[in-house]
Amino acid sequence: MRKLPPDARSTVTGRCRTPLLAVALALVAGWPGQACAQSAPAEENTLKAAFVYNFAKYTDWPDELWSRSPTLRVCTVGERGGFAQAVAALANKPAVRGKEVEVRQLARPEEASGCHFLVVAGRARMAEWTRAVRLAPVLTVGDAEGFATSGGIIGLYAEGDRLRFEINQEAAQRAGLKLSSQLLKLARLVKDESSASQR
C-alpha cells in the first residue's frame, strides 16, 4: 500500500480562497474579500467534480496500479450531461499527489481496468458498471440515489443546501482500496445491500 502524503492527513482547514474578482475589487475598491464562510451557491456539477478530485487525496490504490500508471486516470461513464463534462474539466487541474489527471470517457466495462476512478453519472446502467469493476481496484463514484448502497463505493448526495457523500466500506475493501480515516469521518457510512444477492 502506498502511504498518503502528509498534507492529506493533517487537519484540512485552509484559509478562505479569494476569488479573482474579489482580488480585482480589492484593488479598485479596497475590498479585502476575506469572508467566504457563507459564499454564493456553487455550480453543482463543478462542485461534484471538485469532490471527485479531492477523493484522490484520501485514497490508497494498490502499489502496483499506482506505480504503473504515470497519470491519475479518471474514467467516466453514464449520462453525458453536466457531471461528466465537469469531471472532464478536471484534466486541466493541477496534478494530484504527483500525477497529472487524465480523463477518459468509456463505452464498455472491460475498458475500466487501469482506471483509478470510475465516475458513474446518473442512474442508467449504474448497477452494470459497478458490478463489472467490483473486484478491481477502481474507486467508483456516482451521483444517483442509492449508488453506494447498491455496490458503488462513494455516492454523492444533497442534504439541505450541502453536497455530501456516503461510503460503502465493504465495496472499498472488496476493491482493495484503502480510504483514509479522515475521509470516512466526513462521510455517511452505509451498508452494502447488493452483496447478499451477489455472493
Partner 1 sequence: MNAVIEVSRRASAEPGWRSRACLIALLLVTANQSAAADAELTEMPLEQLMSEAKLRDASIASASRFNQRVSTTPSAVTVITHDDIQQYGWRTVAEVLRSVPGFYLHSDRSYDYLGARGFARPEDYNSRVLLLIDGQRTNDAIYDMAYLGSEQLIDLDLVDRIEVVRGPGSSVYGGNALFGTINIVTRTGQQIDGIEVGTSYSSFDTFYGRATYGKRLDNGADIVASVSGMDSQGPDLRFPEFNAPETNYGRTSDTAFDRNSRLYARLSQDGLSLTAAASQRENGNPGATFGVLFGDPANRQTDSQAYLSVNYTRRVSADSEVSGRLFWGAYSYDGRGVYAGATIDDPPVRNRDRAEANWWGSELKLITAWSARNKLVSGVEYQSNYRQRQWNYDLNPYQSYLDDLRHSDRSGLYAQNDFQWTDSLKISLGARYDKVGTASGELSPRLGLVFRSSEQTGWKLLYGSAFRPANVYEKFYTFPETQIANDQLKPEKLTTWEAGVDHYLGRNTRLAATTYYYRMDQLIEQITDTESGLLKHQNTGNARAQGLELEADQQWDNGARLRLSLDVSKTENAQGEQLSNSPHVVGKLLGSLPLPWMGLRLGTEGQWLSSRKTDAGTDVASYGVVNLTLLRPMAKDGWQFSASLFNLFDKKFADPAAPDVGVPMRSQFEQDGRTFRIKAIHRF
Give me the least distance between CB of 81 and partner 1, in Å please: 10
Give me the least distance between CB of 66 and partner 1, in Å please: 20
**Residue 47, number of CB atoms within 10 A of its CB:** 14
Give me the least distance between CB of 64 and partner 1, in Å please: 26
**Residue 49, number of CB atoms within 10 A of its CB:** 24
Binding piece for partner 1, criterion CB under 8 A, among 67-75, 111-119, 171-179, 189-197:
189-197
CB 103 within 8 A of CB 87: yes
6 binds partner 1 (CB under 8 A): no
* Cα within 13 Å of Cα(195), Cβ side: 17
126 binds partner 1 (CB under 8 A): yes
Positions in 104-123 near partner 1 (CB under 8 A): 123
Give me the least distance between CB of 32 and partner 1, in Å please: 3
* Furthest-apart CA atoms within the chain: distance in Å: 64
- CA-to-CA distance for 23 and 94, rounded, in angstroms? 21
> Nearer Cβ to partner 1, position 35 or 135?
35
Positions in 81-100 near partner 1 (CB under 8 A): 90, 93-94
CB 191 within 8 A of CB 170: yes
